[in-house]
Structure 1
Amino acid sequence: MISFCLSVVALVLGYILYSKFVERIFEVDPNRKTPAITMRDDVDYVPMPEWKIFLIQFLNIAGLGPIFGAVAGAMWGPSAFLWIVLGSIFAGGVHDYFSGMLSVKHGGESITEITGRYLGDGMKQFMRAFTILLMIMVGAVFIMGPAKILNDMTGDIATVTTWVWGILIYYVLSTVLPIDKLIGKLYPLFGVALLFMALGLSVIMFTDGYVIPEITLASLTNMRTNAESYPLFPMLFVTIACGAISGFHASQSPMMARCMTNEKQGRRIFTER
């Protein structure tokens, strides 16, 4: 449990100290008007309260991938602690922050357009094609995964197919409706529920005496039962990709960049992992 507590402390210190350094590198200007103000259209560009943007971004990051990935990655042993903590501080948090803030700086542009701005038109076209392919695969997982979970939770109320259609309809509505009409209302509720769940699990871990392996030189080995088939490198880093660094989050950050009213909000919103 000591290693777990130290990991939490390291993440908090990373936010307090390292994120300020990253913010200085970006050269935030609190007096510069954001796209939510200069390009407001009440559809995609809608000023929203910071707490609401935080919860939406939090839910974007803490989806199926980060949760299931970290759970599956625990099978490799305490090495997962180091990758999650160091990856989140020095890779994932920085990646998400710059993805969001570059979008703020460039009128709420998506990651594909920002890539083209700095790396040329050829790379922009490649990123567009890659993003479409990625979205299809991620969309399939994010439909089937929640559908199966809801089906297991509700029993015979509905079939998996019914839940799939319900989730698909929700995705379509959240895409075509103004961001504050559906996403802005439901995501904060789900975000609060997720925080409550995390707090509840933390309390149970301490009160019920769960044993978590400590980080030692001897424990930094592959602890899976079939270690030969699942080597520590690269399988651990692939399994806990979303939990430490994920390019997919860059596709979500511009959504929130179009709703921020001050660049100083970026550090609290985009480095929350």
Structure 2
Amino acid sequence: MLASQRHERILAGLRDHGAVRIADLTQELGVSDMTVRRDLLELAEQGLLRKVHGGAVSPQATSHEPGFEAKSALALDEKRAIARAAVRLVSPGSSIALSAGTTTHLLAVEIAADPRLRPLTVVTNSLPVAEALYRAGDPQLETVLTGGSRTPSDALVGPLTEAALASLRVDQTFLGAHGVSVEAGLTTPNLDEAATDRALVAIAGRTVVLADHTKWRTTGLSVFARLDQVDVLVTDDALPASDQEAARDVVEQLVVASPPDGPPAPQSQPTQTPPTPAPQDGRTSR
């Protein structure tokens, strides 16, 4: 069994039971005690669990933020399915905003690969999102990248970012989240990133949240939106039916995606035209 498969099994156990024991994991995974301890250490370093004597527990209200690369490999098939479902919500001729995150990055890859979505204006505070769109090399795909300070998630945050967003208006904002729950809403470990996400919600005609099943019932330090502020929640079919029903009771629309049966959308080769930085007064230029 690959390390990534073991990690998914460990995290699934945490989601189901709130805690896992090393003794149980060695039997379930068919590996040594030392291998399980090494797996728990790696997941703890990524902020996905908290080690305790004899096992691990789920991190509650964690203030630790895993880096972009650490999060990219987790639930990858589910994230790709969500991105492919979400791209169907994008209309040519519209303006959208994409927050930072690994799932919104995959949505940007889908957008870059689909010329039918042109013309399109995308506002983002994510460096990986801006890079994915830039590589499309399409002048009809306008990318507006905010300024700001960089976080471990490769997001640009802070007063400059919020000022750039304040006087903009987009048709839809697509948001990722560290955690989603009916009680706490949408949360993130980073206080500055939460403020930027609130600004992205404020400028949107419609708010779309992209969150795979591993985010459900996880709680970060800072709340940036209530779940009833979400117009569309796009998740994957590994989310239990009871949680799907709970989400349907709160959000306007729930979209449940199935994992893809093919490779991710390819990225185009880069051109010489960089993304357009957002001016401080928030106006975009064409």
TM range (shorter): under 0.3
- Structure with the largest fraction of helix: 1
Greater Rg by CA: 1
- Structure with the largest fraction of strand: 2
Task: Between the two structures, name the one with larger relative contact order (CA 8 Å, sep ≥ 6).
Answer: 1
